[in-house]
C-alpha cells in the first residue's frame, strides 16, 4: 500500500550538500524527508574526497621514503603493498560512514527514504511506494562520472572515480583523462605508489 508523506522540506540526494541541508533543516525544527537512491554520503564519502585523500596519504608516505636524499638520508623506494593501501582506503571510508548514515540522520529527526525519487508534479515526488508532498524541495543529486566518447574505449577495461577505489592490484600503467581535482589526485597518488602515469 502506498504511503503519502507531507513535509516541510524534501531533500533529494544524500551527498555532502543534501546531508548538510537535511541536518540543518531538521535542527531548525522543519519536518524533513531525505530521499537517497544509492549510497549515503554520495561522491565525497564513497568515490571522491575521502577515498582520494586516504590514497594520497598512503602515496605521500611512499614518496617521502623515496625523496630523502636532499636531507642526507639514503633515498629508497619503499615496497608498496597495494592491497593494504586499498584496505586503508576502505577502512577510512568505513570510519566516516556512521556520520553520513541513515541511523544518524534518523536520530536527527530526518525521515530517510532509501529509494530513487521522481517528480510526478510540481509539489509531489514518488520514491518507491511512497509519495511525498513538500512545501520546498532541495535537489542535491550531485553528478556522475562522464565517460568521453572515445573510439575503442568500450573495448578496454577503463576506470572512473566510482570504480578506481575497488582495485585490488596496482596497475603498472595508468592513463588519466581529465585534469580536475580527482584526476590530478589520482595521477599523483598512483605515480607516487609506483604506477607509470
Clarify whether residues 83 and 148 are in a common domain: yes
For 134, list phi and psi in degrees, rounded to 5.
-135, 150
- Tens of pLDDT along the chain (197 residues) come to 679 999 999 999 999 999 999 999 999 999 999 999 999 999 999 999 999 999 999 999 988 876 777 777 776 778 899 999 999 999 999 999 999 999 999 999 999 999 999 999 989 999 999 999 999 999 999 888 888 899 999 899 899 999 999 999 999 999 999 888 989 999 999 999 999 99
pTM of the model: 0.86
Q: Which domain holds residue 106?
A: 1-40+101-143
Clarify whether residues 36 and 15 are in a common domain: yes
Clarify whether residues 90 and 159 are in a common domain: yes
Does residue 197 lie within any of the structural domains? no
CATH assignment at residue 26: 3.50.50.60
Total domains in the chain come to 2
Clarify whether residues 48 and 133 are in a common domain: no
Clarify whether residues 36 and 106 are in a common domain: yes
**Environment class of residue 30 by beta-carbon count within 10 Å: exposed (0-12), middle (13-18) or buried (19+)?**
middle
Clarify whether residues 149 and 74 are in a common domain: yes
Angle at 53 between CA 75 and CA 169, to 5 degrees: 70
pLDDT in tens, 43-62: 999 999 999 999 999 999 98
Amino acid at each position: 500500500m502506498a504511503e503519502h508523506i507531507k513535509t516541510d522540506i524534501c531533500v533529494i540526494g544524500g551527498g555532502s550538500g543534501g546531508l548538510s541541508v537535511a541536518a540543518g533543516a531538521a535542527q531548525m525544527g522543519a519536518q524533513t524527508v531525505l530521499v537517497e537512491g544509492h549510497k549515503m554520503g554520495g561522491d565525497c564519502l564513497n568515490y571522491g574526497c575521502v577515498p582520494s585523500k586516504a590514497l594520497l596519504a598512503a602515496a605521500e608516505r611512499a614518496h617521502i621514503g623515496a625523496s630523502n636524499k636532499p636531507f642526507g638520508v639514503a633515498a629508497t623506494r619503499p615496497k608498496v603493498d597495494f592491497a593494504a593501501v586499498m584496505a586503508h582506503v576502505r577502512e577510512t571510508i568505513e570510519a566516516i560512514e556512521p556520520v553520513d548514515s541513515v541511523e544518524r540522520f534518523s536520530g536527527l529527526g530526518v525521515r530517510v527514504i532509501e529509494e530513487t525519487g521522481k517528480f510526478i508534479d510540481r509539489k509531489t515526488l514518488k520514491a518507491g511506494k511512497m509519495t511525498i508532498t513538500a512545501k520546498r524541495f532541495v535537489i542535491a543529486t550531485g553528478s556522475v562520472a562522464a565517460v568521453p566518447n572515445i573510439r575503442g574505449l568500450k573495448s578496454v577495461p577503463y576506470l572512473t572515480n566510482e570504480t578506481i577505489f575497488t582495485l585490488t592490484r596496482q596497475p603498472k600503467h595508468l592513463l588519466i583523462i581529465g585534469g580536475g581535482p580527482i584526476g590530478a589526485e589520482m595521477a599523483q597518488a598512483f605515480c607516487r605508489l609506483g604506477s607509470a602515469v
